[in-house]
Amino acid sequence: MIEAVITISPQSVEYALFLLENIKKTISDTSNIKFILSHNQDVDRIDEIIKQNKEFEFKKIKTKKHFGEHAGECHGFNLTAGVKELREELGMMIDADCAFLQKNWDTQFTEKLHDDTVIIGTEYCGSHYRKFPNSIFSIFKTQIFQELKIELKEKYENIIVKSKEEEQLYGVKKGTEILLDMDSQLLDIKKAGYKGVAIPQVGINAKDIRFSSREGLSPAFVKGDDNNSLVTGAEYQMKGIPVLTHVGRSSVRPFSSPIPQRWKQGVEDWINNL
């Protein structure tokens, strides 16, 4: 059984509804997963999410945080609150603006967790740590995660990797400048001697990119997009097969705006053709 935490902001409700429909179509068995919806005081549609997804078991956590200018801080706070409530052997974190691109993903990912490999999830690209999961999507052994008391607090610190030890920890070469953000606290798992499996994001110019290029979701600045002009549409692959996509910006970009709607249609077409 997987117990998944989804943080819900006022803007992300429609994204979460789409994610849950996507999970119904792609998971091996809907009885293999339950959910914790961690939200702040500004969200008033939690019961609507639960009512529309009677196939799943839900737990609601209402935090004291208000969604305001610091969306990252609120997201991390709610995510940490949800993780602390996990009771199943396997926990999961997933952003509301993600969708799965492969059926039976749950069995494919969980079979990678054995011995000292305790987490599998999406990998950063760009100026971040590499070769280890982040919180966009990850499945992990709950007991170890909670024993290490990992808290995903808002953090923005630029560092230069200075030693062989730091090369191993951050997954980049000595002399590289990287940003340590909220997710860098997941590296406490690595510091404790455990291993993780990173699901790589396929670069938009890579020859083997499939979903994102097909749907025209390459990273670019596109004029006219509601509230935010940055298009992400990240694609993650395992062994050349797209397994997950993340459109991003759900805290500021309505689901009804052009980019998310094009992404939604692309996901639906992809799943229908599997």
What DSSP string runs through 177-236? Answer: EEEE-GGGGGHHHHHTT-EEEEEPBPPTT-TT--HHHHTT--SEE-TT-SS--EE--EEE
- Write down the pLDDT at residue 40: 76
Tell me the pLDDT tens digit for each residue of 166-225.
Answer: 999 999 999 999 888 888 899 999 999 999 999 998 865 555 666 765 555 444 333 334
pLDDT for 142 beyond 50: yes
| CATH code, 124 | 3.90.550
pLDDT for 231 beyond 60: no
pLDDT band at 151; cut points 50, 70, 90: confident
- Closest among 163, 12, 29, 16 to 99, alpha carbons compared: 16
- Ramachandran angles phi, psi of 249, nearest 5°: 65, 25
Instruction: Kindly state the helix (H) or strand (E) to which residue 141 belongs, with its residue range.
Output: strand 133-141
Range of the domain at 53: 2-272
* Structure token digits, residue 220: 């670019």
**Side-chain-facing half-sphere of 139: CA atoms under 13 Å:** 19
Q: In Å, what is the CA distance from 106 to each residue of 69, 102, 122, 255?
A: 35, 10, 14, 26
pLDDT band at 66; cut points 50, 70, 90: low
Share above pLDDT 70 across residues of the chain, in percent, rounded to a whole number: 84
Task: Calculate mean pLDDT across residues 250-264.
Answer: 85
pLDDT band at 41; cut points 50, 70, 90: low
Look at the chain and report how many structural domains it folds into: 1
Task: Calculate mean pLDDT across residues 88-101.
Answer: 96
